Amino acid sequence: MQNNATPEPAFPEGAALVLGGSGGIGSSICELFARQGADVAITYRNNAKAAEAVAARVATLGRRAAAVRVDTADAKSVERGLKEADDRGWQLIDMKRDWGTVFPQ
């Protein structure tokens, strides 16, 4: 039996920052967050075009998205990425790496 009911969004008022969000697994994580009601900051190190494509897919799901350049080997770069999400007025509810959780809230 198939359930066609639309589930309640898990993140109706929050945002997620996905480190490595422009790649294969990371882009899927971004889309999953968007389907669950979160706005998404998609980080990338070198491939802005891929990050913008993921942001466009997130936007088609009705959520806000931003491609943010972050080098995870540089703490100041990560801080700038977090600040960019904060400057947008997004309430960060979770941050994911494409290989696992950085911190839950």
What is the tally of structural domains in the chain?
A: 1
Residue 3 lies in a domain: no
CATH number of the domain that 53 lies in? Answer: 3.40.50.720
Quote the strand ranges of the chain, DSSP E: 15-19, 39-44, 65-69, 92-97, 100-104
Mean pLDDT, rounded, of the chain = 81
pLDDT at 4 over 70: no
Could you tell me the residue range of the domain that residue 24 belongs to?
Answer: 15-99
Is the pTM of the predicted complex or chain greater than 0.85? no
C-alpha distances out from residue 80 to 18, 68, 89, 105, Å? 14, 9, 14, 20
Domain annotation covers residue 67: yes
The pLDDT assigned to 89 comes to 80
Tokens of 7: 């589930």
Q: Is residue 8 in some structural domain?
A: no
Q: Is residue 7 part of a domain?
A: no
Give the residue from 8, 76, 22 showing the smallest Cα distance to 40. 22
Asked whether residue 56 is assigned to any structural domain, the reply reads: yes
In a domain, residue 84? The reply is yes
Report if residue 74 sits inside a domain: yes
How much is the pLDDT for 12? 64
Q: Closest Cα partner for 17 from 61, 59, 69?
A: 69
pLDDT of residue 47 exceeding 90: yes
Q: Is 59 a domain residue? A: yes
Distances (CA, A) of 84 to 24, 73, 81, 99: 23, 18, 5, 22
